[in-house]
Every structure is written in C-alpha cells, then in structure tokens.
Amino acid sequence: MNISTTIGNILECTADAIVLNLFEGVTEPGGATGAANRALDGLIADLIAGGDFSGKRNQTAVLYPRQGVAASRLILVGLGKREDFTPNEVRLASASATREAIKLGAKTLASIVHGGGIGGLDISDATQATVEGAILGNYKFTNYKTDDNHPKRLDTFTLVEFDTSKQTDVEKGANTGQIIAESVCFARDLSNTPGNDLPPATLADRALEMARETGLSCEIFDEQRISNEGMGALSAVGQGSARPPRFVILEHAGPDPNAAPIIFIGKGITFDTGGISLKGGDGMWNMKFDMSGSAAVIGAMRAVAKLDLPHRVIGLVAAAENMPDGRAYRPGDILHPLGTKTVEIHSTDAEGRLALIDAIAYSARYAPKAAIDLATLTGACVTALGNEASGLMGNDNDLIAQIHEAGNRTGEIAWHLPILDDHRNRIKSNVADLKNSGGRPAGALTAAAFLEAYVQNFPWAHLDIAGTASTSSTKPDTPIGATGVGVRLLIDFLRHQDE
C-alpha cells in the first residue's frame, strides 16, 4: 500500500473515502469532524443524537455526503473514552476504519491524524500509530489463493493534516509507522507460510535477502558449521528431518560497531511434529507458527535497519524442523549443547528450548548489554495467560520492567512470571546436568529456568509468545493467522533505550 502525507483540508480530498473520528460521549463534534458536521448541515450531530453513533472504541459508521465533502463516503470511527486514549487506541481505530473502507470496496483512503489535535497526543506519535493501524488493518495473507474471491486491499492511504507547522512531524511519524508496520507484515508472512515452503534453509535465505535489501550483515551456519561450533542441541533437534537446521546471525552495527550489543534471539522451529514424542493430530497444522519467534526477530531487525536505530543490535535465529525419523533424537538421549551443561531428553516435543540454549550460549561471546529471546515455547503459558499476553521471565528486573513498559505502550502485553528455585530444581536430571522437561506443573516457568541455565552473566529476558503469535479470531489490526507479535515491542524497547 502506498502511504503519503499532505497538508490541506480533508473535506476537499477526492479519495474513495475519508476518515474522521469522535470520542465517546461527545455530542457536538469539534476539529475536522466538527467542520464536516457543519458542511453536512448537522448530519453527524443528528447521528449521535439518534443513538446511531456513540464514539465507542473502534465503532464505525458510514455516511454518504451529498454536499460539502468531496469524497463519496465518510467513515466515522470511535476513539473510546478520552481518559483511556493512547497511541495504541489510535492504531486500533485506524485499523477499524481501514477494514470498513475495504468492506466498502474503497481502493483509496484519506484520514486525519487521530489524536494529533484535541486528542492531545504528540503529533509524530499519533501519525505513527495512525499509519501502523492502516497498514496492519489492510494486511491479508493471500499468497496461496488462486481465485479473485479473496479479500481486497486498499492501494493508497493518505494522511491529511491541516496545520502546516506540523508537516515535518507528520512526515517523520508516517515514515516510522510505515517501516514498523511493514516489518510486522513481513514477520506475519514468514509465520503464515506453511512448513513445506519454509524449511530452515529457506527461512535463512529469507533473512539473507532481507539483510541485503536493508544493509544488515548476515551470516548463516549450515548443519556442518552448527556441529563444528558445538551446538549439539540444535543439531539434535534437526537430525530427524531431511531438511537440515540453520543458524542465522543478523547484525546492525549502529554508530559504534564495538559497543556491547542488544541481542534478539528467535526460536525457528519451521514445523514441529513433536518428533518421537509425537503430537496428537488435532491442531498440528498450527505448528507452522512454531517459528514465530524467529519471524519476530527477523522482522524487528528489518525495522532496526530501515530506521537506522543508534544501537548495535544482533539477531540470532536457531532454525530446525522437528520430525520423527530413524535418525531422530530420542527420549533418554543425553545431549552436549554449546556451553557446559549436558541435557537428558525427557520429551522430544520440548525441542524449542533445545534450539534456544545453543543460541543463548552463543550470545555470550558478544558480551551483550542485554539479550531477549522470543519463542512459542509452552502450552502452559497459554493456559496461564490466554491469548492476550505473552509470558515475560528473566534474570534482570530493570530489563523486565523495560520490556513490560514497551508491551504496555504497543499493546503487545508482556506479563512478568517469576522463576523460582523450585522451578530450577524441577529440571535437574539424575544422569545429566539438566533434563529438558520439568513436567506439567509450572511448565512455562520450568522451561524458562532451563533457558536461564545457559545464560552467562548478562541481562536476559524470555518472552513466551505461544498464546500471542497467532489468532483464531479477527481483530481490527490482525486477521486470523499470524500476528507478528514482538516486532513492535522490540522496536519500542530499543527506541526508549536512551531515556
């Protein structure tokens, strides 16, 4: 979708539809909505008085102006209560309006900047959120549709600002919002791609292509290099598949290529059958989403490069396909991961943590400022938190607080869960240093404790996105399928590092 900004009067825009807004409880519209109301002889006020539009969050109404407005359709979107208003509400409102425009068959849409006037938000932040909402609301994964009956999309989205003094900030916010939202869509496309078309080598190639386009450095370890590096856990997970594992290193040097980096680590299990500990058939098709942590890291690194953020940032992806085979690793095997601790396998379906520990241990050679891993790791986290929040665990309270705040700002909620000594004790093995499963009780926490054992003296946080990486219901900014969760959170986290 083409994104543009212009200075002018939105009532004069000749797009297929224009978007205006209203806070809940307002009876006499102000700003651009008030101007439209006057041009339409009080039609919007009549709509409110008649109880047909209240301004509740994400509510939409469509008007067909006969005078005073150049566009053939006017979409009103509710911003909700003023006291609850944030940039996150802007994003959802913009996405809701975009979806309404698509239903109407519009191809071009013009919108005011939601919240940039009487809403009281910083104009750049409001613009960023408005653009993010439009792009995310316009997202559809139709790569495998062979007919023309799939959902349509907008071609053009134009932001219209009346105040010429705000032009620079509007352009800046629009550019930032476009980069971030398109990076989320990039991550969604990766996660939505089925396992037959996205084995580990292809995932690595997609990362390499992105790196070449954005100026990131990229190094890929094949299965032999993975073995030579001593990554015995990642090697074991992938050995049952005819499509071998890959390890990807993406780097944005920033202004100081020798600075201690911030490292993002993604679980990249491109398909998970459970291996010898075979999963049940119900829902196994969803395991194409088991590489969503890696998709988030690759998408975030794309945004880091395009925004040219002033930090050294490294993205690590541990990619493998977990399949049952005569060569597959077995329950009872003892593995030698990178690092010092051996692992007894209690379940080959607890494979994601095995891939991650080699990546976490590899991180130590960079002496990172912080490391954050993202993984669709445990069903236990879904049981605990559902589908609206990711589990957040780690060894550094300051880092955890920063991630929590970034989640609140972006709407990608991350809820802190504590790793206790009991959780650490549950993963001790009688025949090796550790076992890869601590059983059902506190499964998300014992998995995090297992990862923690391979962290070597640096701040670390773990995001369990098992419940948030995909959705089975449509939301304003997310259709059914992959959500791209983590991309916006990670970028927000980075952009607040100097505060």
Reduced to 3 states (helix: H, G, I; strand: E, B; else coil), residue 477 is coil
Task: Name the strand (E) or helix (H) holding 414.
Answer: strand 414-416
Angle between helices 167-192 and 487-495 (to 10 degrees): 140
Tokens representing 391?
Answer: 């589990």
Tokens representing 464?
Answer: 């369990």
What contacts 140, CB < 8 A, 6 or more positions away?
150, 151, 153, 479
Please pick, among 243, 267, 353, 409, the residue that the annotation labels catalytic. 353
Cα 458 from Cα 268, distance rounded (Å): 23
Please pick, among 38, 107, 279, 495, the residue that the annotation labels catalytic. 279
Torsions phi, psi for 496 (to 5 deg): -105, 10
316, 263 Cβ separation under 8 angstroms: yes
Active site residue 353: yes
Strand order in the sheet with 156-161: 2-7, 156-161, 108-111, 17-22, 74-78, 60-63
List b or e across 355-387, with b for residues whose CB sees 16 or more CB atoms inside 10 angstroms: bbbbbbbbbbebebbbbbbbbbbbebbbebbee
Report the Cα–Cα distance between both ends of the chain, in Å, rounded.
33
- CA 450: distance to chain centroid? 24
DSSP assignment of 50-81 equals: TTS----TT-EEEE--SSS-SSS-EEEEE---
Reduced to 3 states (helix: H, G, I; strand: E, B; else coil), residue 233 is helix
Active site residue 279: yes
**Catalytic residue ranges:** 279, 353
